[in-house]
Chains A and B, each alone.
Chain A
Amino acid sequence: MAAREYGGGFVDTIKYIVSKGLLEGSRAYYMALLGLVLMAAYGVYVWVFIQHAPVFLKSDYGGMMLTGMSDSVPWGLYISFFIFWVGVAAAGIVFGLAGYVFGHKGFKKVAVLGEVQAVAAIVTVLSLIMVDIGRPLRAMILMPQLPNLHSMLDWDFMVLTGYLILNIIGFLVTVHYYRQDKPIPRKFLVPFMIIASPFAIGIHTVTAFISQALVARPYWNSPLLAPRYVATAFASGPAILMLVLVLAEKYIKGFKVDDDVYRKTMLVMVGALIIGLYFTFSEAHEVFWYTTEPLKKAQFEEAFYGYHLGYLPVMMMLWIGLGAAAVILALIPKVRNTWPGRLLIAVITIIAVINEKTMSILVPAYIPDPLGRYILYYPTPLEYAITLGMHAIGILVYLVLAKVAIEVIMTHYFRGSGAHH
């Protein structure tokens, strides 16, 4: 919006982003970019030429047959990580909210990093959907044309693309002003935050609504699913941002983060973790204390005991154990106030939420299936390769945009006029 008013200058901003992000950098930076590009290219190659060969190349071999998915477990690794990254994406607007709406100066400084994280996470999410959908080209043509407003998938597609566009706008505008050492004008920020904040909650909520209302899958069929998604999302998103901040402060000269930002982020993280653990506890009680609904009970038993699928209880226990560990560590001032301690808590939180959000939230809903069969799901190497490739795309986007973002933060706050305040 504001960008259009400064038409000429805006093209310069694009040039600035390209030159800072791609044309400048150390050897290590380029090696990292190259590695990620190779990984992404391999993932796309495997997707196009093996997993989707019957669709793209009309060949007889290949197909999604080569994944571990089946009619009983139709969604697998891709959708698992889709769920996780949707959660991570929210942090963008949350930090913007703290900085721009509540006027917290420390958060204002790093809000753009949150937007970068959101962009990268949503890019990962959309790539993961793309490789999961059987006929992606058809989907791209049909989904905007013939949306079925009863389908949560359409709503999810809308909020995700909307959120992506909003965060890209936010990032561009921030870079545009910061690089000229100007503050972002209120005229842009107020409407932007009003439109963007509902999206931050919306992306999780709608993603949870995809599965929550399905009577066919008792594991999900509870109103607690959406709050559970949001709760742990507010742990993982800020945790990744904190990890980046800690590392950036440590390794980038002159980059300084207010201590209050760490304190408040930690508070959000730990609060969200406690709520998430409490939800797990509540769900466990519901199922294991009284419930006599056999399919629901069987699916929860699969998640907690893993009679057939051994990795599910391991993930569940890791979530509970590491989640509790992160909470306890964050209560100790000696740990939470030092940089290695912060790093440790952030990493533990991320691992805990990965264990909660990915396979253990998805797979038990399919085992046993509505016909009572136990068809097990183990991801195949092909799925791992494609998932890694799609993550490489996301990390690539993150690296390039974060470099630009930190550059402009340095320009505005640590070298320019912003430094005086």
Chain B
Amino acid sequence: MVEDKASGAGLTRRELLKAMAVVGGASTISFIAIDREKLRAVLKPVSLEEILGLEAEASADESELERKARKKEEEIKKWCSREAEKICSAKGGDSPECKEAKRRCSMVKVKATPAKPGVRFAMALDINKCIGCRRCAYACVMENNQDREMHIEWIKVVSVPREEFEILNTKLDYTKAPEKNMVYVPMACMHCEDPPCVMVCPVRATFKEPDGIVVIDYDRCIGCRYCITACPYGARRFNWRKPTIPVTELNPNMHILGNVLRQPHVTEKCTWCIQRSRDGGVPACVEVCPVGARSFGDLNDPESPIRRIIEEYGAFVLRPEAGTKPRFFYYFGPARTPPREEASGKSGGEG
């Protein structure tokens, strides 16, 4: 020990330098030797091409997804017929519930429709029109096979005082709508260009599709809830236990990345009804809205309603300072649906 101390300093420094040289050499060699393509693939989970939708996903990936969808379909059909049997034995074979359940089970189809190249979906919502009826939230629950008891609602509608849109002064649990001096702002996944949830996912279970829809692979989600923490719009929900869906209300039109039945302990969120929009339809919330406040379309198509709205009225997004570039636009349309009489008389005073 004594002699250690005597020769200590010089020896340590020399050996330290040696060891550092070894470490440096090893990292240089591994840096040179590593497969660049693989490294690039690892370092770039979301590429610019993907965001803009210029590059379709590799075909090998698609078949993988289709295979998964097929397996899932068999699984769901089995589960569904089991559940239907239960209903039938409880209520009798001729009961309407039994027939309904069997009908839905026979129609179950899990799709894996890929994104159309060159399409970039976007949604717009006219705040002047929205009456806060929450029919979109209800339709969303039914369409997307969400759990009926955990209050997983992909769409949350907040009522905002007209003076200022400060999220802390809003109310989610209003019971009477529409009210004057209030505007209603439905919020769901904004399908950002630069989604924080995709960046933070440790296993790349959530990603952005070429047509701009941010999806979750429910078979890959590990349930760490980091994406819920990272989302600035509070759009993500977690299945805190096994979700329950009555078979008589099952939506048989499913997409493997969208409304396919979820497992316990995975995250889910709005997918712009990928099972509808990829087949040329519009999301359920757009279809059900009684005042036509929502519009959905292709941002790349000059004829689409979205483009027209942005050009004609100008649109804004929520929390632009977050820098996520949402593709869910809000705008104030020309006509106001909620209480007109009172608002028209003293609209100047209310400001």
Known A74-B229, A216-B322; contact A135-B167, beta-carbon cutoff 8 A: no
B37 within 8 A of A: no
A295 within 8 A of B: yes
A63 within 8 A of B: yes
Per-residue interface assignment for chain A, residues 40 to 64, with 1 indicating a CB less than 8 Å from any chain B CB and 0 otherwise: 0000000000001011000111111
Which residues of A sit under 8 angstroms from B322, Cβ to Cβ? 215-216
Which residues of A sit under 8 angstroms from B220, Cβ to Cβ? 138, 142, 146
Q: Is B240 a contact of A63 with CB atoms below 8 Å?
A: yes
Q: Is B196 a contact of A372 with CB atoms below 8 Å?
A: no
- Name A135-153 residues within 8 Å CB distance of B: 135-136, 138-139, 142-143, 146-153
Per-residue interface assignment for chain A, residues 211 to 226, with 1 indicating a CB less than 8 Å from any chain B CB and 0 otherwise: 1001111000000000
Q: Is A372 a contact of B169 with CB atoms below 8 Å?
A: yes
B42 within 8 A of A: yes
Residue of A nearest to B158 (CB): A371
CB contact between B241 and one of A65, A139, A191 (< 8 Å): that residue: A65
CB contact between B168 and one of A103, A135, A139, A294 (< 8 Å): that residue: A294
- Closest-CB distance, B320 to chain A (whole angstroms): 11
B22 within 8 A of A: yes
In the docked arrangement, what's the CA distance between A146 and B236, Å? 22
Give the segment of B5-13, B109-117, B119-127, B208-216 that binds chain A: B5-13
Q: Is A135 a contact of B231 with CB atoms below 8 Å?
A: no
Per-residue interface assignment for chain A, residues 123 to 165, with 1 indicating a CB less than 8 Å from any chain B CB and 0 otherwise: 0000000001111101100110011111111100100000000
Which residues of B sit under 8 angstroms from A64, Cβ to Cβ? 238, 240-241, 265
Known A369-B234, A371-B156, A373-B172; contact A147-B202, beta-carbon cutoff 8 A: yes
CB contact between B2 and one of A101, A138, A143, A421 (< 8 Å): that residue: A421
Which residues of A sit under 8 angstroms from B231, Cβ to Cβ? 216, 370
In the docked arrangement, what's the CA distance between A369 and B23, Å? 45
Per-residue interface assignment for chain B, residues 197 to 227, with 1 indicating a CB less than 8 Å from any chain A CB and 0 otherwise: 0011111110000000000000011111110
Known A71-B238, A103-B5; contact A368-B203, beta-carbon cutoff 8 A: no
Q: Is B170 a contact of A148 with CB atoms below 8 Å?
A: no
In the docked arrangement, what's the CA distance between A210 and B167, Å? 25
**How many Cβ-Cβ contacts under 8 Å join chain A to chain B?**
183
Q: Is A214 a contact of B230 with CB atoms below 8 Å?
A: yes
Per-residue interface assignment for chain A, residues 53 to 87, with 1 indicating a CB less than 8 Å from any chain B CB and 0 otherwise: 01100011111111101111011000000000000
Q: Is B202 a contact of A372 with CB atoms below 8 Å?
A: no
B: interface residue count bin: 35 or more
CB contact between A63 and one of B19, B242, B321 (< 8 Å): that residue: B242
- Name B299-342 residues within 8 Å CB distance of A: 321-324
Q: Is A142 a contact of B203 with CB atoms below 8 Å?
A: yes
Q: Is A215 a contact of B232 with CB atoms below 8 Å?
A: yes
Known A148-B204, A150-B200, A370-B167; contact A135-B266, beta-carbon cutoff 8 A: yes
The CB with the most chain B CB atoms within 10 A, among A55, A61, A369, is that of: A55
CB contact between A153 and one of B4, B20, B226 (< 8 Å): that residue: B226
In the docked arrangement, what's the CA distance between A295 and B233, Å? 13
Q: Is A190 a contact of B236 with CB atoms below 8 Å?
A: no
Which residues of A sit under 8 angstroms from B230, Cβ to Cβ? 214, 216
In the docked arrangement, what's the CA distance between A217 and B319, Å? 13
In the docked arrangement, what's the CA distance between A44 and B284, Å? 43
- Closest-CB distance, A195 to chain B (whole angstroms): 7
Q: Is B224 a contact of A153 with CB atoms below 8 Å?
A: yes
Which residues of B sit under 8 angstroms from A148, Cβ to Cβ? 45, 199, 201-204
Q: Is A370 a contact of B233 with CB atoms below 8 Å?
A: yes
B228 within 8 A of A: yes
Q: Is A216 a contact of B202 with CB atoms below 8 Å?
A: no
CB contact between B42 and one of A149, A366, A371 (< 8 Å): that residue: A149
A334 within 8 A of B: no
Residue of B nearest to A362 (CB): B229
- Closest-CB distance, A68 to chain B (whole angstroms): 11
In the docked arrangement, what's the CA distance between A131 and B168, Å? 33
- Closest-CB distance, B172 to chain A (whole angstroms): 6
- Closest-CB distance, B184 to chain A (whole angstroms): 14
CB contact between A372 and one of B158, B224, B323 (< 8 Å): that residue: B158
Q: Is A195 a contact of B23 with CB atoms below 8 Å?
A: yes
Q: Is A74 a contact of B228 with CB atoms below 8 Å?
A: yes
In the docked arrangement, what's the CA distance between A167 and B205, Å? 32
- Name A178-218 residues within 8 Å CB distance of B: 183, 186-187, 190-191, 194-195, 210-211, 214-217
Which residues of A sit under 8 angstroms from B232, Cβ to Cβ? 215-216, 370
Which residues of A sit under 8 angstroms from B200, Cβ to Cβ? 150-153, 214
Which residues of A sit under 8 angstroms from B240, Cβ to Cβ? 63-65, 67, 69-70
Known A139-B203, A214-B196; contact A150-B45, beta-carbon cutoff 8 A: yes
Known A368-B168, A370-B234; contact A194-B20, beta-carbon cutoff 8 A: yes
In the docked arrangement, what's the CA distance between A148 and B196, Å? 13
B237 within 8 A of A: yes
In the docked arrangement, what's the CA distance between A47 and B158, Å? 36
Q: Is B265 a contact of A135 with CB atoms below 8 Å?
A: yes
Known A134-B265, A370-B231, A371-B187; contact A191-B19, beta-carbon cutoff 8 A: yes
A418 within 8 A of B: yes
B246 within 8 A of A: no
CB contact between B12 and one of A69, A151, A190, A373 (< 8 Å): that residue: A190
Q: Is A191 a contact of B23 with CB atoms below 8 Å?
A: yes
Residue of A nearest to B244 (CB): A60
Residue of B nearest to A187 (CB): B15
Q: Is B22 a contact of A65 with CB atoms below 8 Å?
A: no
Q: Is A63 a contact of B264 with CB atoms below 8 Å?
A: yes
B43 within 8 A of A: yes
Per-residue interface assignment for chain B, residues 99 to 138, with 1 indicating a CB less than 8 Å from any chain A CB and 0 otherwise: 0000000000000000000000000000000000000000
Which residues of B sit under 8 angstroms from A132, Cβ to Cβ? 224
CB contact between B19 and one of A60, A146, A194, A210 (< 8 Å): that residue: A194
Q: Is B168 a contact of A147 with CB atoms below 8 Å?
A: no
A298 within 8 A of B: yes
Known A134-B265, A186-B12, A371-B187; contact A146-B168, beta-carbon cutoff 8 A: no
- Name A267-308 residues within 8 Å CB distance of B: 294-295, 298
Q: Is B241 a contact of A74 with CB atoms below 8 Å?
A: no
In the docked arrangement, what's the CA distance between A193 and B26, Å? 17
Per-residue interface assignment for chain B, residues 9 to 53, with 1 indicating a CB less than 8 Å from any chain A CB and 0 otherwise: 001100110011011000000000000000000110100000000
Q: List 26 contacting pairs A-B, 8 Å CB cutoff, sorted by A.
A: A54-B241, A54-B242, A63-B240, A70-B240, A71-B152, A71-B228, A74-B238, A134-B265, A135-B221, A135-B222, A138-B203, A148-B45, A149-B45, A151-B201, A190-B12, A195-B23, A215-B321, A215-B322, A295-B167, A365-B229, A369-B234, A370-B231, A370-B232, A370-B233, A371-B172, A372-B172
A72-B234, A147-B42 known, 15 other contacts, Cβ within 8 Å: A71-B234, A103-B5, A134-B238, A138-B203, A148-B202, A150-B45, A151-B200, A154-B202, A157-B202, A187-B15, A215-B232, A215-B324, A216-B232, A298-B168, A372-B169
